[in-house]
């Protein structure tokens, strides 16, 4: 088993290096071949203008909206399910959430187009509901089952003895949850949030259907009611129609490299945080 685990780790590390190497090689023409202003706000391939800032900003903006909405609701729902419901009802709820987590993203995208975008347009009196806010709401809906399911597992994993010891000290139920259960389950809840964040970063089809297709920054900058693009929606729209090896293709691959870099940075930061917390425990 040790050899198998070691071999699996080596293969996984090798795949990461292959992916990064491939992205770096194909990003070369955009980075070194021409004098391109990649970090500008203008995207117009016909004029050799490849500013990627609108797509990067759109990715971060949508991701922040989704996490701000889904994370508190997901953790509170997990506490409610784990601490107040019977084992039978908890199993039923978790099974339903796991089904929701497994629904293909294109289905969520179609629901977003058919209902969510119309509600946003009517609620804010917009001509179209395909805006950043709609994409953030849809992503929050998609990652919510993941956060609830994994957070509930973490909370339920706290031993009954710990709960009984805390209650024997005279703590109220909410005090046991706040001061005992949540601190113990915090690393696993952070892992659940990380998995949800990874899905939010890499989601393509659902976001592409509801965010619009404007390659520019919102005006004003944090206007969530403006159409925009994310890196994944941009790749989904253009990568298949772009000539292989062209400058346009290279810039799209460079955006893919940025997306992978975001994921690696978040993973390493979370791992460091959890290691520091483990040393303090």
Chain-centre distance for alpha carbon 250: 25
- CATH no. of 55-280: 1.10.3720.10
Distance CA 138, CA 120 (A): 11
Residue 277 has pLDDT above 70, yes or no: no
Q: Are the C-beta atoms of residues 96 and 102 closer than 8 Å to each other? A: no
Question: What are 156-214's pLDDT values in tens digits?
Answer: 888 888 888 888 888 888 888 888 888 888 888 887 788 788 777 877 778 888 988 88
Computed over every residue of the chain, the mean pLDDT equals 86
* Of 243, 252, 192, 240, the residue nearest 43 (C-alpha): 252
Whole-structure pTM value:
0.87
Question: What are 217-251's pLDDT values in tens digits?
Answer: 988 888 999 999 999 889 988 888 888 888 899 99
Classify the phi-psi angles of 105: left when phi > 0, otherwise alpha if psi is within -120 to 50, otherwise beta: alpha
Domain boundaries, the chain: 55-280
What is the three-class DSSP state of 217? coil
């Amino acid at each position: 088993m040790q050899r198998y685990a070691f071999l699996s780790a080596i293969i996984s590390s090798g795949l990461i290096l292959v992916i990064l190497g491939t992205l770096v090689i194909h990003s070369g023409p955009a980075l070194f071949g021409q004098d391109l202003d990649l970090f500008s706000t203008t995207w117009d391939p016909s004029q050799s203008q490849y500013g990627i800032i609108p797509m990067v900003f759109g990715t971060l903006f949508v991701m922040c909206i989704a996490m701000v909405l889904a994370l508190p609701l997901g953790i509170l729902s997990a506490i409610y399910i784990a601490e107040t419901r019977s084992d039978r009802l908890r199993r039923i709820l978790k099974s339903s959430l796991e089904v929701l987590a497994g629904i293909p993203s294109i289905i969520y995208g179609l629901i977003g187009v058919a209902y969510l975008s119309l509600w946003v347009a009517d609620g804010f009196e917009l001509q179209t509901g395909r805006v950043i806010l709609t994409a953030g709401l849809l992503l929050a809906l998609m990652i919510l089952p993941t956060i609830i399911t994994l957070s509930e597992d973490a909370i339920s994993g706290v031993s009954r003895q710990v709960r009984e010891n805390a209650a024997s000290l005279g703590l109220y139920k909410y005090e046991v949850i706040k001061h005992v259960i949540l601190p113990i389950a915090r690393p696993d809840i952070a892992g659940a949030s990380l998995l949800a964040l990874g899905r939010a970063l890499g989601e393509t089809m659902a976001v592409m259907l509801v965010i619009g297709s404007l390659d520019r920054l919102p005006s004003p900058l944090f206007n969530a009611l403006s159409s925009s693009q994310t890196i994944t929606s941009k790749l989904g729209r253009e990568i298949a129609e772009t000539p292989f090896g062209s400058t346009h293709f290279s810039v799209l691959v460079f955006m893919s490299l940025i997306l992978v870099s975001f994921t690696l940075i978040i993973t390493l930061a979370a791992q460091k945080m959890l290691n520091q917390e483990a040393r303090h425990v």
